[in-house]
Amino acid sequence: MSSVVSPIREHLVTNGKTHHDVTEDICRHVEAKPTKEWKIAFTISLIVLVYGSFWVMRTWWEGLGVWGLNKTVGWAWDITNFVWWVGIGHAGTLISAILLLFRQKWRTSVNRAAEAMTIFAVICAASFIVMHMGRPWLAYWALPFPNTFGSLWVNFNSPLVWDVFAISTYFSVSCLFWYIGMVPDLATIRDRATGIRKTIYGILSLGWTGGAKTWARYEDVSLILSGLSTPLVLSVHTIVSFDFATSVIPGWHTTIFPPYFVAGAIFSGFAMVQNLMLITRVVYKLEDYITLEHISLMNKIITLTGSIVGIAYITEFFIAAYSGVEYEKYAFLNRATGPLWWSYAAMMTCNVLSPQVFWSEKLRKNIVLSFVIAVIVNIGMWFERFVIIVTSLHRDYLPSSWTYFTPRMGDIGDYIFSFGLFGTLFLLFSKFLPVINMAEVKAVLKSSSERKPGDKH
């Protein structure tokens, strides 16, 4: 029952917060005028977004020639950024769905922001798809429209079409999950608000009253949505990996890709959540809700998934050697020792070695180190995709066409755009919507919070 307090688990909410304190602490940020720090951060994000938009416009106006692609390397930063953002976009649904199925109560403090991050990361990823279509005004050709609309029916045998279905389903279902989770909290804000705000949050909260029957069905819906989202989240990166694995390029054509991509996605997603939560808890003074215990648990998952990708890297090498296929062997040897060796070294150091520091509990609970490692992990995961994509392409079967890849300002500008977009969206979310799931935190408060001595509960 809810009133059982575990003597071994650390408290998830510290400092004797009451249910009313939870409402106050979270709603305060939604109700107050934007702070100076928020305005500065928002201005910076907007400037980055505008600068990046300039490059996206150039990409569309001049064509893909503004990128550093060449006749051998026909796919580089665009798809690297896409896979990187999609990977980051895995943590939110993972935290809310899989951790709900596993009854991990600590998810309650981080799930809202993680889900929001997921949605924004998927938007960033989708923007790269549209960017590298070349003719973005024909983006709808990716949908199954009748032949009279211009194109033929889409080819359902193609992993790129699977991708369209996977990403759009993932995006829609994540939005739904996020929004349904937010309805009770929006009702809390509605009941505290006055004037125009009451009307707006009244519409957004869909007339939620929190009746016991509604709550029972709501919990049933959440549980089934988690059950549906869990295979969905695993399918998305599996299908993204099919973009490569179903081709016959040495270095891409490997059966290990689906689990390896999914582990990597969880890895980078958790690192991004860690970064955002560490900033949010300081800026919004949420140290009692996002505690060192949360940070430590996140770090444990980062170490676990980092080690899984480490094993995958080594397995790939072993399989390449064991396969006896000359091209496969060369692709991997070239990856580690060829002209792009530095990217391989960056990947190995950042992803496999750096998270190992978290075996120490003291380091796991070190805030600065957690932040730094999370940044390093995301740099490493970007290099992982770069390594897979570019090193497999730049030396093909014909040595006369071997090249090197150097990014141009178009590649960099489009990447900057995605950061501006992500930052702007996340800041808007953190200002106007509750960053912590109040209802869920309140539900675990009695069993998992630190009570002041003398409290009657």
> Which backbone phi and psi does 21 adopt, to 5 degrees?
-60, -40
- 192 binds other proteins per the rule CB under 8 A: yes
- 149 binds other proteins per the rule CB under 8 A: no
Q: How many chain residues bind other proteins (CB under 8 A)?
A: 67
What is the smallest separation between the CB atom of 261 and other proteins, expressed in angstroms?
14
Q: CA 125, 433, 195 angle in degrees (round to 5)?
A: 140
Stretch that binds other proteins, among 91-99, 316-324, 357-365, 439-447 (CB under 8 A): 439-447
- 3 binds other proteins per the rule CB under 8 A: yes
Q: The tokens of 68 are what?
A: 């550093």
The answer to whether the CB of 443 falls within 8 A of the CB of 11 is no
> CA–CA separation, 273 vs 96, rounded Å?
12
- 210 binds other proteins per the rule CB under 8 A: yes
What is the smallest separation between the CB atom of 440 and other proteins, expressed in angstroms?
7
Q: The tokens of 168 are what?
A: 């759009």
> Which backbone phi and psi does 188 adopt, to 5 degrees?
-60, -45
The answer to whether the CB of 99 falls within 8 A of the CB of 107 is yes
Stretch that binds other proteins, among 38-46, 187-195, 266-274, 412-420 (CB under 8 A): 187-195
> In the set 47, 130, 231, 397, which binds other proteins (CB under 8 A)?
231
Residue placing its CB nearer to other proteins in the complex, 204 or 369: 204
Residue placing its CB nearer to other proteins in the complex, 236 or 350: 236
- 32 binds other proteins per the rule CB under 8 A: no
> In the set 5, 180, 279, 283, which binds other proteins (CB under 8 A)?
180
> CA–CA separation, 31 vs 24, rounded Å?
10
> CA–CA separation, 398 vs 61, rounded Å?
33
Q: CA 69, 376, 384 angle in degrees (round to 5)?
A: 40
- 144 binds other proteins per the rule CB under 8 A: yes
> Reduced to 3 states, what is the DSSP secondary structure of residue 295?
helix
Q: The tokens of 180 are what?
A: 């349904």
Distances (CA, A) of 422 to 57, 297, 428: 18, 25, 10
End-to-end CA distance of the chain: 14
What is the smallest separation between the CB atom of 66 and other proteins, expressed in angstroms?
32
Nearest alpha carbon to residue 237 among 159, 317, 350: 159
Residue 36 neighbours by CB under 8 Å, 6+ apart: none
- 161 binds other proteins per the rule CB under 8 A: yes
> In the set 77, 78, 440, 448, which binds other proteins (CB under 8 A)?
440
> In the set 32, 50, 101, 203, which binds other proteins (CB under 8 A)?
203
- 104 binds other proteins per the rule CB under 8 A: no
- 217 binds other proteins per the rule CB under 8 A: yes
Q: The tokens of 47 are what?
A: 């400037």
Stretch that binds other proteins, among 133-141, 144-152, 274-282, 288-296 (CB under 8 A): 144-152
Stretch that binds other proteins, among 62-70, 140-148, 275-283, 407-415 (CB under 8 A): 140-148
- 220 binds other proteins per the rule CB under 8 A: yes
> CA–CA separation, 102 vs 113, rounded Å?
19
Strand partners, 449: 13
- 207 binds other proteins per the rule CB under 8 A: yes
Residue placing its CB nearer to other proteins in the complex, 110 or 166: 166
Residue numbers at the binding site for other proteins (CB under 8 A): 1-3, 18-20, 23, 144, 146-147, 152-157, 159, 161-162, 165-166, 169, 172-173, 176-177, 180, 183-184, 187-188, 190-192, 203-204, 206-221, 224-225, 228-229, 231-232, 235, 239, 242, 439-440, 442-443, 446, 457
